Every structure is written in C-alpha cells, then in structure tokens.
Amino acid sequence: MLLIPCPFCGPRPELEFRYGGQAHIARPENPAALSDGEWAEFLYLRDNVRGVHAERWRHIHGCARFFNMLRDTTTDRILTTYKTGEPRPEAV
Amino acid sequence: MPDSLTTTFGTTPAAAGPAREPFRTTAGGRIDRARPLAFRFDGKTYAGVQGDTLASALLANGVHLVGRSFKYHRPRGIMTAGSDEPNALVTVSRDAARTTPNLRATQVELYDGLAAISQNRFPSLAFDVGAINDRISSLLPAGFYYKTFMWPRGFWDRVYEPLIRSAAGLGRVPTAPDPDRYLQRHAHCDVLVIGAGPAGLAAALAAADAGARVILCDEQAEMGGSLLADRQSTIAGRPASAWVAEALAELAGHERVTLLPRTTAFGYYPHNHLGLVERATDHLAAPSTEVPRERLWQVRAREVVLAAGALERPLTFPENDRPGIMLADAAHTYVARYGVLPGRRAVVAAANDSGYRAALALAEEGVEIAAIADLRRAPSGAWLDAARKAGLPVQTGMTVTGTSGSLRVDGVSLASVEDGGEVGATRDVGCDLLLMAGGWTPSVHLFSQSLGKLRFDEALQAYVPGIAAQPIRAAGGADGEYGLEEALSGGQRAGVEAAAAAGVSGASPRVFVTVSPPADTSSVLGALPHPTASRGRDPSRVRAFVDFQNDSTAKDLKLAVREGFRSVEHAKRYTTTGMATDQGKTSNMPMLGVLSQAQGKTIPEVGFTTFRPPFTPTTFGIFAGAARGELFDPARRTPIHPWAAAHGAVFEDVGLWKRARYFPQRHRNGAAEDMDAAVARECLAVRQGVGIFDATTLGKIEVVGPDAAEFMNRMYINPWAKLGVGRCRYGVMLREDGFVLDDGVVGRIAPDRFHVTTTTGGAASVLNMMEDYLQTEWADLQVWLTSVTEQWAVIAVQGPRARDVLAPLVDGIDLSAGALPHMALAEGRICGVPTRLFRVSFTGELGFEVNVPAGYGRQVWEAIHESGQPYGITPYGTETMHVLRAEKGFIIVGQETDGTATPDDVGLGWAIGKAKPDFVGKRSLTRSGMMDPGRKQLAGLVSADGQTVLEEGAQLVGDARMNVPMSVLGHVTSSYYSAVLGHPIALAMLAGGRSRHGETLYVPMPRGLAGSIAPIAVKVVPPVFYDPEGTRLDV
Ligand SMILES: [Zn+2]
C-alpha cells in the first residue's frame, strides 16, 4: 500500500485515496470547436508511462481534495505531490 | 476420496502408550525429553516430545515416507528442516472445520494429540494407485497438458479439466466455515528486522541500542536461527545458544522493541509496507478462544533489515527424490537441535563443508558414515581434516549417478569424475540416508518482492541483493555472508545504518568476538555429471528432480529449451518449475543451473524470475480478519427500517442499503403472501388509493453558492437558469463520453441553493464527479457541495388520496393543485418538524415526497401511516416501485441504461437544454455514432399471448425460425406483470426501437429438450403503458 503525502494533510495510507487518472489533461475550453478525432483523443487517449507519471489523486476519505502526484510507475516511488492547477514540477 | 478424516481426529486419548522413539538421541538438542507428547499420523499413534516439529517427531520414529508427489505420485520424504520443505506437505485437523491442508511438516509444531494426515495418495501412502503415473512418466513430458488436451475444445471444460483436477492436487480444503478468529493489526517502526538468526539479532541489538523502534520477527517458534543448532561456535566467550538467550533477554527488556516469533514476513509491498502473519495458537493443544488463531500485522517500516538467512541447495542427480534423501544442513539440524537421527547408515554428497559438519554430527551420535562423496576435486580445510581424523571415508572428485530403494532410499551409486570430465566406474553403496550439500542460496525472496535488483555473485554462484528499490538492506546469509563472524558484523552494520537512515543514531557499535570453525561454502549449479551411456538403465526413466513439489526434472527443462522456450520465464511456466507453493525455494537456482547448461549460457544470461508474495502460503482468514458475515460490509439502514422490519418487510440489498422490497401479508392460515401477490396488491393500492414508500436511500446533494445555477448548467443536460425557486426539474447527468450516468429530481430551494437527488447507488460517484469538475476544471466557480443523503429521511406518499393523507399533518404548506402543482416544492412543517415537501411522482399518480430531518423520519412515517388509515394507505417496497414506474415507461439508470445509452436512446432527448453552449457530455452527443438511427432505443413490449412474463436480459430477434446463429436486435431490460393492466409488460433496448412500434419480434428461450429453443412472440409498443396522457398527475 502506497504512503501518499497529501499536500493538505501529510502522509496517509493509500486506502484513504482514490486514483484519478492522468493529470494535466484540461477539458477543452470550447468542445464544440473540436473535430470528432480531437474530441476522441481528449476522451480516450492516455499515456502509458514507464517511469515518472503525473497523475491525479483525491484524498476522498480525508480532506476530499484533488491533487497531483509524480510517481515512478516502475518502482512506485513518489517524487512529489502538488496542488491542482500548479504546473508539473521538474522530475526530481 | 475416502481419506478417512474421521479416523484421524477425535477425542480418543492417545495414552495407550506409543513405543518410545527409536531414533531419538539420549541427550542434547533444544527439546524437552521430560515432556512426552502423543500424536497421530495417518491414523497411527506415535510419540514425540515438547519442542519437536511434526517432521522431527516423525523422523524420531523412523518415518521418512510422508507424502506422494504431485504429478507422478512418487514416494517422498522429509528433505528440509524449515519453510523451504517441498515434499512433506500434510493436513492437520483439530476437527472437521479446523482442518488445514498443505502445511509443511517441518514447520508444524507438535502438541499433544496433534492429528495429521498425508496427502495426494489413495488408498495409502505405501500403496498408491496414482503411482501408475510414475510408470507411464515417459507419456507425461513437460507441457503434457498443453499438448494433449487440445481437442475437441468442448472436452476441456467437461472432461479433461475435472479429470486433471481430481487426479492432481495437494490437500483438500475443509467445507465447513472456519470457526477461528483472525485479527489484523497495523504497526509502525523505525527498523523491521526479518529473521532472528545471528545477523538479525545483531541488527536488532544495534538498532535498539541507537534508540530505534524495532520489530524483530522470525518464522520459527524459537528465535536464534542457525545458532540454535550450532554446537561449535562461541560468541563473546559464550556458547552460541547461551548468547542467543542473552541477546533475546536484552531485546525483550528494550521498551521500543517488539519481538514476534512464529511470525512470517510473507509480503513486501510498496513504500516499505509489509505483511506479517503471526501464528498465535496453532502450536497449542487446547487453544483459548480468547486468542485469535492468527494475526495479520501490516507494518509500515522506515527501514527494513532482511536477515532471512540462506537455504541449502539440493543436488541435481538421477533419482534424487527418494525418502531418506535430505539436505545436509537439515540432517545436522535434526541431530543438533531436535536430538533425532535421520538414519543409521549415511552417504553424504557434498559440494562444500556443510556435508562434513552433518557427517561429523551424525557420526558423533553413532550413525555409520558409509561414504562422503566430495564433489570437489581437491578440497582442504579444518572440516576435511576433522572428518579424516574421525576416520570417516572421504572420496574426492565424486559424483552421484543414481539411487535405489522404493519407499526409502537403500543405496547410492557413486562414481569418480576424471580430469577430462568422463564419469568413471560406478560403485553402489548401501545406506538408509543420503545427504545433499549443494551449496547455499541466499533467501532473497523478500528483497525481490521489494522490486530490488539481484546481482549474480560469481564466487558464491548465487544471486544476492543488489540495488534496492526501497529502504531495505540485507545482512548475513541473505546477503551471502555465510560465516558467523561475517553475519554478526554484517547484521550489526545493517542495524546501525538502518537506524541512522530512519533518523536515529548514537549507539556505540558492539564488537562480537566469535570463535567458529571456518567453512567452505561453495555451491554447485546444474545437473551433476553422470554417464552418457546408460548402465543398464532405461534412459527415458532416469529423472533428476529440480522442482520436487511440482515434479519437474532436468529432462523437462532440457525439453523445454529444445522446444524453443528459451526465456527463463517461458521455460519456468512450460515446466511449472518454481511455481509450486514453496515458491521455488529449493528449485530456483538448480533450475537456472540446468537451463544454463542446456543453453550454453552463463547464469546471468539465462536471467532470473521474480519472486512474488506470499513467501509461504497464508490463510485467507488473515486477509478477511473481522470482515466476515455481518461485518463483511457495513449495512446502511434508514430510520424507517425498524418499522418496515416490524411490519414483515422482505428486504433487498441495494448497494450497502437494506431496502424493503415488499410487505407480504399473512393469510388467515398463517402463510405469507408470495412476492407476486404482494406486489400486485401494493400496485393496485397505489393506483386506486394511496401508498407509502421509504425513499430515504436516494442520494441527496446540496449545491450551494452564487454560481450554483451555472454549475448545474454545466453538470446536467437540463437548463437550470430559469428554474424558479420552489420548482423542481428531472435532471439527467452524462459522463463526458455522452452516456447517461445518473438521474434524479432537483429542486431549487433558493436562487443560490439546489436540492439535488441522485439514484441510490449513484450518490457517491455523482458527488465525486461534481467535486472533480469543481476542483479541477472550474475552480473559479463559487459553489459548495455537501452530501445530505444521511440528513434527510424521505417518505413518498403516492396515489389519488395522497393529498388527503398529508393535508391534516402539514403546517404552513398549501397542498392544493394551484399552490403546489406537479414538480413544485414547499418548505414548512409536517407533524411539527421542518420539511422540504416535493410534489413529484415516480408512479404516475398524484404524489409527494416528504423530506424531514432523518431523526424524525420514523415518527413522521408513523404519523402519515396513521393519517392514511381511512384511505387504506398501503406500505410498498422497491419491487412495486419498479412495476409502477415501468407502467409509466420511466427508466432506471443501470437497468435500462448500461453505460452505453445516450439521453436520446432512452427517450430523454427532450430534457436537453438546447440553448446551452456546453455541458458535460454534450460534445460527445454529436459524434456520428451517437446519432445513428439504428442505435438501441427504449421500447415497450407486450407478450403476444398476453400471459408470458419475459425474462430480464433475454435477447430479441426478428426471425421466428430460430436458426442459430441469430442476429440480435436488442434485449429485455425490465419485465413485470402489471396488475392494473391485467397483462405482462416489458421494457427493452431495441435497435431502432422507436420506429418498430407494432412489429412482432421473438424472444428465444430454452424449452423442452436440452439445447432446443422456442420463440416467445412479442409486440413492440410505445414504452408508456399506463395513462400516456398523464392525466392522473393533475388531480
Ligand atoms: Zn488530504
């Protein structure tokens, strides 16, 4: 079980969290302007990263906040967590 | 299989006086000869003593044959003295429910009255019908299942698999529920030390000295590891066993140290989270019910020291699997620790000094050493000198070419290996014990589980921990430090470093002055040399076992390589080597050795397989813990639940909720109504009078803030800006992919406040999705979301007399049609308590939903029920609710929809706010596939015979001839008998359903003879069956 450092609450066991998929995929400002292909890409296409992955988590059984996390998918090492809306930090 | 479990447990006292153990030494070891125990194995009573394992006690009685092998049913004996045992798997029973199969006899602690049986044999160990597999073994090569049971396809499920499963297999699980208790604990520590041998003890002492919180666990009953059988060494001038006692006493005195004997670290998970299982009562003759059988410790350790030791390697030579063939270190342990002689006349095949140590210990107790066959060409050292001095017959440069004996080894064929590698003349030596000392394999399983990289050490011919992926360090045998001094200093260093890494330091390191005979610990890998020309043997029958538990041989591995399974992962799976319950503890390195020889590659080139949890098999009980029966899942009950229970409701589970499904009435003769009768009665009561229904489980979310209407506009397909305060609207929510996620009535309480309802099952996911968009996409919106599901009790009062029932109870609310029209809401009081009273209907009748604070729910329910008595008010359940809504063609999300339905598919296109530029899912609705007129659409069905109630989930086809295969046009989603209409009705999702009204279709159903199909004719109709004009609402 991961030990996840919630940016608002500190380290908490993974059981308290819910995974939220890849981070930094903004909903298009004007979906109507997108072609079917572009919209499908937004809906369905996600990276399958081997290595450092930016992903969303929600501390659903804690502060209930969404936040982002850099995690190495090969080792589960958590590089950092940061607040929603902040840019992805340089991989440390 | 008549395994005669009943004859092997029970209350018969075993005091009949079993014969004393013929192979027990008179003194020495860590057993208590003054405390005799009686036990039974396969129904026969034997004597043992306190401190024995089942294995040591059996050996004390001369019993080596303890099991039959998995595939060939070959007789097998006890090979090891620990958790690496591949052969001696037994079933231990206290009673029919407390029966545990597949336990390693080498780990089962003896208690008085213990009853064990062997496995995988019929009718008995000595005569086993399945042994025919051994005679036909040339027909059962590697990959046999894959090659043989290919065709015909249908035979796999019906014939082959059941046959294979009944013939193969290990122990049998009990069928009665497990009556024991299992507990789960969470623990945190600075340093977790796994293994309490010399390295582990030194590590724990060092970390404790530094002031760290330490947990020290060991899978054995007694801590001390190899020191418990070490008669030669001294530490700090004290005998090894005395030093162990002092070290443990010192650790026990540390406030911050937890000692966990009988505790196996079985799993290593991310972020230094480890699973430990503590066996609390399995060793007791009469366990107290106060104590759980086992505890799962979930430990979060800042640092881990892996001091799990090393495992001795068997040698790979023909017929290396007979009972009486044992690892040298195991034999040494049985003599030195358990005071048991594993034989009278021993041959030792040794690749290093472990064989000499065992031979000398056996000889000291009077065992005849018939030969020490040393695989080394020119060995030297203290152990060799000691053996020569003791007059033991040592031959160097030797190999083992075969063994003889049926139920026990009775001879060994030895041969010299010439300089050129040719095998010389074979000499047969009689014996009843053959020891194998093939070298050492560090126990790196947990390091591997932690995703650390292993490194092949050429000098050790073994994999040792390399680069760690988590805060773990190895010490002692697990790190390839086999000598006592090395292990102690390695453990000490690991303990200091681990404590420092955990942020605790300051202890002065200890120095352990040890005296221990130096030992050569070299290892061999691969099959031993044996003659290429068979000497009177049928070469197809010569088998050198690599994986004893899964019965895979060197020949199987070579065959796999020849057939192209070159990757170690493929060869392993094809031959199942290393995939048995022992996780390849004794077989992994021998497998790599044979593959290396067969492929002409070095060991690192062959590659390595990953070890996975559990280290040794664990019970399911520890994972279930207290989460069994009633506690498996929490049950959610509404405040009205006790009333419903008292009025005979039959409940159903909806998510975690218990919902009243129907309220069967008692007939005069005492029998209860069946569901169909109860539902028909409840339906008619609502249509003709009034019914009362507990809708408390509906999800409820309060959406509040200056931007609440804008937020609702973006989340729901409906327009909300113009919804007036005091008005309601049926809302539909999509996922971003355009498919219906949830629905529910939303009321506007104030300009900035919406009372949103969701489906019972969808409440949590709807709130999660709302929070997701609010927090991550539209953080600028001033909106706050609060789940109020548990805060409101909801009482639906439905039917033509609903207003009459409520009118006397409300205060400050005008229920008249003019003041409170359909889809309006009012705040006020009912029975003196505050209410949000919605005029809404999921039945098609005049209806109200009374929301009151949950604590008043039952009181208000009872008041309404009382007020409704003059009108015959009838409580109804979810089944009736389903029928009433289906008569009106109202969908249920998750029943009509399945995650692929758009609003238009289920007839809800009207709800879309056409003027809205955007909402969640809108863009997806204009993708071409979403507008295909052939999509499945909601339709109604009536059976042509006016009688048949269709099966939900049944398929719809257009062709009455029932020619297989048929094109499927859709499926039945809801189907009921409608009491008010007097015939069955159904809803369906049907391709182009809205353009098929009037068509006749068919539902193919199995009928008559097995495999034959008969059609049920149905007519497609609009999905609203009752009061399509909706006039009944406006009363
Ligand atoms: Zn938090």
Question: What is the ipTM score, two decimals?
Answer: 0.98
Subunit contact A76:B271, Cβ cutoff 8 A: yes
Q: How confident is the model at residue B539 (pLDDT cuts 50, 70, 90)?
A: low
pLDDT digits (tens, 9 = 90+) for B18-44: 558 999 999 999 999 999 999 999 999
What is the C-alpha to C-alpha distance for residues A78 and A85, in angstroms, rounded to an integer? 19
CB B760 within 8 A of CB B657: yes
Provide mean pLDDT across the span B289-294.
94
Q: How confident is the model at residue B538 (pLDDT cuts 50, 70, 90)?
A: low
Provide mean pLDDT across the span B571-594.
93
Put residue B224 in one of left, alpha, beta given phi > 0 → left and psi -120 to 50 → alpha. Answer: left
Q: How confident is the model at residue B152 (pLDDT cuts 50, 70, 90)?
A: low
What is the C-alpha to C-alpha distance for residues B591 and B583, in angstroms, rounded to an integer? 13
Subunit contact B768:A60, Cβ cutoff 8 A: yes
Strand partners, B481: none
Q: Which residue, among B349, B748, B702, B363, has the nearest Cα to B530 in the 3D structure? A: B349
Contact with chain A for residue B366, Cβ under 8 A: no
What is the C-alpha to C-alpha distance for residues A72 and A68, in angstroms, rounded to an integer? 13
What is the C-alpha to C-alpha distance for residues B621 and B183, in angstroms, rounded to an integer? 9
> Strands B67-68 and B75-76: what pairing?
antiparallel
pLDDT digits (tens, 9 = 90+) for B706-753: 999 999 999 999 999 999 999 999 999 999 999 999 999 999 999 999
pLDDT of residue B2: 37
Residue of A1, A39, A66 lying closest to B772 (CB–CB) = A66
For chain B, what percent of residues have pLDDT higher than 90?
Answer: 84
Is the pLDDT at B589 greater than 80? The verdict is yes
| Total Cβ atoms within 10 A of residue B974 | 23
| Total Cβ atoms within 10 A of residue B829 | 15
Is the pLDDT at B1 greater than 60? The verdict is no
pLDDT of residue B1013: 82
Strand partners, B756: B701, B746
Subunit contact B775:A84, Cβ cutoff 8 A: yes
pLDDT of residue B153: 58
pLDDT digits (tens, 9 = 90+) for B821-871: 999 999 999 999 999 999 999 999 999 999 999 999 999 999 999 999 999
Distance from CA of A75 to the nearest CA of B (A): 7
For residue A64, the chain B residues in CB contact (below 8 A) are: 771
pLDDT digits (tens, 9 = 90+) for B616-649: 999 999 999 999 998 999 999 999 999 999 999 9
Q: How confident is the model at residue B432 (pLDDT cuts 50, 70, 90)?
A: very high
Q: How confident is the model at residue B654 (pLDDT cuts 50, 70, 90)?
A: very high
pLDDT of residue B960: 87
Subunit contact A43:B924, Cβ cutoff 8 A: yes
Fold (topology level) of B524-618: Arc Repressor Mutant, subunit A (1.10.10)
pLDDT of residue B899: 95
| Structural element, H or E, at residue B483 | none
| Total Cβ atoms within 10 A of residue B237 | 10
Provide mean pLDDT across the span B678-696.
98
Domain at B5-139: CATH code:
3.10.20.440
Distance from CA of B469 to the nearest CA of A (A): 7
Residue of B269, B470, B775 lying closest to A66 (CB–CB) = B775
**Nearest-Cα residue of chain A relative to residue B735:** A43
pLDDT of residue B3: 39
> Strands B936-943 and B1013-1021: what pairing?
antiparallel
Subunit contact B269:A39, Cβ cutoff 8 A: no
Distance from CA of B221 to the nearest CA of A (A): 28
Distance from CA of A91 to the nearest CA of B (A): 17
Distance from CA of A53 to the nearest CA of B (A): 16
Is the pLDDT at B162 greater than 70? The verdict is no
What is the C-alpha to C-alpha distance for residues B905 and B939, in angstroms, rounded to an integer? 10
Q: How confident is the model at residue B964 (pLDDT cuts 50, 70, 90)?
A: confident
Distance from CA of B389 to the nearest CA of A (A): 54
pLDDT of residue B118: 92
SS (H, E, C) B20-40: CCCCECCCCCCCEEEEEEEEE
DSSP of B403-435: EE-SSS--EEEEEEE-TTS-EEEEEEEE-SEEE
What is the residue whose two structure tokens read 């093939």? B438
pLDDT of residue B610: 85
Subunit contact A39:B768, Cβ cutoff 8 A: no
Domain A3-83 has CATH 3.30.2270.10: yes
Is the pLDDT at B14 greater than 50? The verdict is no
What is the C-alpha to C-alpha distance for residues B288 and B281, in angstroms, rounded to an integer? 8
Q: How confident is the model at residue B84 (pLDDT cuts 50, 70, 90)?
A: very high
Q: Is-same-fold flag (B182-310+442-514; B314-435)? A: yes
Q: How confident is the model at residue B11 (pLDDT cuts 50, 70, 90)?
A: very low
CB B87 within 8 A of CB B67: yes
pLDDT of residue B6: 34
Annotated domain spans of chain B? 5-139, 182-310+442-514, 314-435, 524-618, 932-1035
- What would the two tokens of residue B580 be? 């048995």
Between the CA of A25 and the centroid of ligand 1 the distance, in Å, is: 22
Integer angstrom CA distances of residue B177 from B99, B173, B583, B620: 10, 11, 28, 12
pLDDT digits (tens, 9 = 90+) for B362-411: 999 999 999 999 999 999 999 999 999 999 999 999 999 999 999 999 99
What is the sign, positive or negative, of the torsion defined by CA atoms of B391, B395, B399, B402? negative
Integer angstrom CA distances of residue B720 from B111, B715, B752: 74, 10, 11
pLDDT of residue B1027: 97
Q: How confident is the model at residue B1012 (pLDDT cuts 50, 70, 90)?
A: confident
Domain at B932-1035: CATH code:
2.40.30.110
Per DSSP, which regions of B691-831 are E strands?
Answer: 691-694, 699-704, 728-734, 740-750, 753-758, 784-787, 792-798, 810-811, 824-830
Total beta-carbon pairs less than 8 A apart between chain A and chain B: 61
What is the C-alpha to C-alpha distance for residues B661 and B856, in angstroms, rounded to an integer? 22
What is the C-alpha to C-alpha distance for residues B197 and B220, in angstroms, rounded to an integer? 10
Q: Which CATH superfamily is domain B182-310+442-514 in?
A: FAD/NAD(P)-binding domain (3.50.50.60)
Tell me the backbone φ, ψ of residue B492, rounded to 5 degrees. -55, -50
Subunit contact A3:B300, Cβ cutoff 8 A: yes
For residue A51, the chain B residues in CB contact (below 8 A) are: none
Provide mean pLDDT across the span B416-438.
93
What is the C-alpha to C-alpha distance for residues B567 and B570, in angstroms, rounded to an integer? 5
pLDDT of residue B588: 94
Which residues, at least 6 apart from B992, have a Cβ–Cβ distance to it below 8 Å?
Answer: B933, B934, B935, B937
Between the CA of A9 and the centroid of ligand 1 the distance, in Å, is: 4
Contact with chain A for residue B917, Cβ under 8 A: yes
Tell me the backbone φ, ψ of residue B337, rounded to 5 degrees. -100, -35
Interior angle at CA B590, CA B585 and CA B595, nearest 5: 130
Domain B314-435 has CATH 3.50.50.60: yes
Q: Which residue, among B417, B220, B429, B186, has the nearest Cα to B296 in the 3D structure? A: B186
Q: Is residue B673 helix, strand or coil?
A: coil
Between the CA of B471 and the centroid of ligand 1 the distance, in Å, is: 25
Residues of chain A whose C-beta is under 8 A from some C-beta in B? 1-3, 13, 18, 20, 26-27, 30-32, 34, 36, 39-40, 43, 56, 58, 60, 64-66, 74-78, 84-85
pLDDT of residue B148: 61
Provide mean pLDDT across the span B47-70.
96
Residue of A43, A64, A75 lying closest to B737 (CB–CB) = A43
Put residue B165 in one of left, alpha, beta given phi > 0 → left and psi -120 to 50 → alpha. Answer: alpha
What is the C-alpha to C-alpha distance for residues B531 and B426, in angstroms, rounded to an integer? 9
CB B37 within 8 A of CB B146: no
Is the pLDDT at A57 greater than 90? The verdict is yes
Contact with chain A for residue B922, Cβ under 8 A: yes
What is the residue whose two structure tokens read 């996390």? A69
For residue B470, the chain A residues in CB contact (below 8 A) are: 75
**Nearest-Cα residue of chain B relative to residue A27:** B777
pLDDT of residue B10: 36
| Total Cβ atoms within 10 A of residue B96 | 12
Provide mean pLDDT across the span B770-781.
97
Q: Is residue B532 helix, strand or coil?
A: coil
The amino acid sitting at A88 is: R
pLDDT digits (tens, 9 = 90+) for B192-248: 999 999 999 999 999 999 999 999 999 999 999 999 999 999 999 999 999 999 999
pLDDT digits (tens, 9 = 90+) for B459-479: 999 999 999 999 999 999 999
Task: Report chain B's mean pLDDT, rounded to a whole number.
Answer: 93
Which residue has better confidence, B248 or B10?
A: B248
The amino acid sitting at B799 is: G
Residue of B271, B298, B923 lying closest to A39 (CB–CB) = B923
For residue A3, the chain B residues in CB contact (below 8 A) are: 271, 273, 300
Residue of A3, A27, A56 lying closest to B271 (CB–CB) = A3
Is the pLDDT at B149 greater than 90? The verdict is no
Distance from CA of B980 to the nearest CA of A (A): 45
